[in-house]
């Protein structure tokens, strides 16, 4: 059974929290695991083909202890009904403005990461990349943020309306989670370190800061972070691209030979 459900938005310290949980030996499913092991399940759910209970069963079948990041965090309430003994953690920043500045900076940098910037190449040559973008990434981002105008060709992050939409969604989500808080909920800022987390988990307090991940202050940081996090999924897409390119080349060679034979016969 899932033990912890992290209900926090992107850019609220969720990657640092994932690292902290992993350091304690817990099996965490964050963005990389969703793309590698839960992609088909979430795509089917978002398409209305399966229920949230079936999604939860897949997490159980894969012996997951902690659910972090999208799309899972958005369905924290449904998961909490399924796993009533699971503990909830809402990660948040010092203020909404701090969150927005971090999110805007991250998405601006993310859109320059090669697999995003040149995504058209990935998407049309890799069935996995295409289905993930169209049936998982886009629906999830729109569902969570209320807009796609933070991502690649849709990006318009300097537009005040985009800021208003994303901030409204962020604040509404946090307020809704807090309205359901009880003794099984922890409202957590990773800057507070191990103490509140360990107390909530019922384990001895660990000295020192928790791991700090996803420090995406510039494009280099974001590139290194995304490369480290998403390489297995990107490698899977690359294999499909190579196969597609080989098929195209073989097809073109075949067409050229066929045309050559036809021309030769006519001569």
| C-alpha dist (Å) from residue 96 to 103, 105, 173 | 10, 14, 12
* Spatial contact of 41 and 55, defined as CB atoms under 8 Å apart: yes
- Rounded distance, CA 16 to CA 9, Å? 13
Task: State the CB neighbour count (10 A cutoff) for residue 11.
Answer: 22
DSSP code string of 74-102: GGHHHHHHHSTTSEEEEE--SSHHHHHHH
Helix axes 39-46, 52-61, angle to 10 degrees: 170
In this prediction the pTM is 0.88
* Mean pLDDT, the chain, whole residue set: 90
| C-alpha dist (Å) from residue 200 to 137, 155, 188, 209 | 32, 39, 10, 16
Task: State the CB neighbour count (10 A cutoff) for residue 97.
Answer: 11
Q: What average pLDDT does the segment 243-249 reach?
A: 90
User: Given this model, what pLDDT does residue 216 score?
Assistant: 66
Domains and CATH numbers, the chain: 4-266 (3.40.50.300)
Helix (H) / strand (E) containing 67:
strand 66-67
* Spatial contact of 92 and 174, defined as CB atoms under 8 Å apart: yes
130-172 pLDDT, tens digit per residue, is: 999 899 999 999 999 999 998 877 888 999 999 999 999 999 9
51-75 pLDDT, tens digit per residue, is: 999 999 999 999 999 999 999 999 9
Helix (H) / strand (E) containing 131:
helix 127-132
């Amino acid at each position: 059974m899932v033990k912890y459900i992290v209900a926090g938005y992107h850019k609220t310290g969720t990657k640092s929290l994932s690292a902290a949980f992993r350091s304690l030996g817990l099996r965490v499913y964050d963005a990389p695991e969703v793309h590698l092991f839960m992609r088909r399940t979430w795509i089917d759910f978002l398409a209305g083909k399966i229920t949230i209970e079936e999604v939860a069963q897949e997490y159980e079948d894969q012996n997951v202890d902690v659910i972090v990041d999208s799309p899972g965090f958005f369905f924290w309430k449904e998961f909490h009904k399924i796993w009533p003994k699971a503990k909830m953690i809402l990660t948040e920043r010092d203020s909404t403005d701090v969150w927005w500045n971090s999110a805007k900076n991250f998405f601006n940098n993310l859109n320059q990461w090669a697999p995003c910037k040149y995504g058209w190449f990935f998407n049309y040559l890799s069935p996995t990349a295409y289905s993930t973008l169209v049936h998982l990434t886009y629906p999830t981002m729109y569902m969570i943020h209320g807009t796609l105008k933070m991502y690649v060709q849709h990006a318009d992050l300097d537009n005040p309306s985009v800021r208003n939409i994303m901030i409204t969604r962020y604040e509404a989500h946090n307020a809704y989670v807090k309205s359901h808080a009880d003794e099984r909920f922890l409202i957590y800022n990773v800057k507070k370190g191990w103490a509140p987390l360990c107390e909530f988990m019922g384990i001895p307090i660990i000295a020192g800061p928790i791991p700090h991940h996803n420090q995406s202050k510039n494009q280099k940081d974001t590139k290194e972070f995304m490369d480290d996090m998403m390489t297995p999924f990107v490698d899977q897409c690359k294999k499909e691209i190579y196969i597609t390119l080989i098929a195209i080349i073989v097809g073109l060679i075949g067409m050229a030979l066929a045309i050559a034979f036809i021309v030769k016969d006519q001569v």
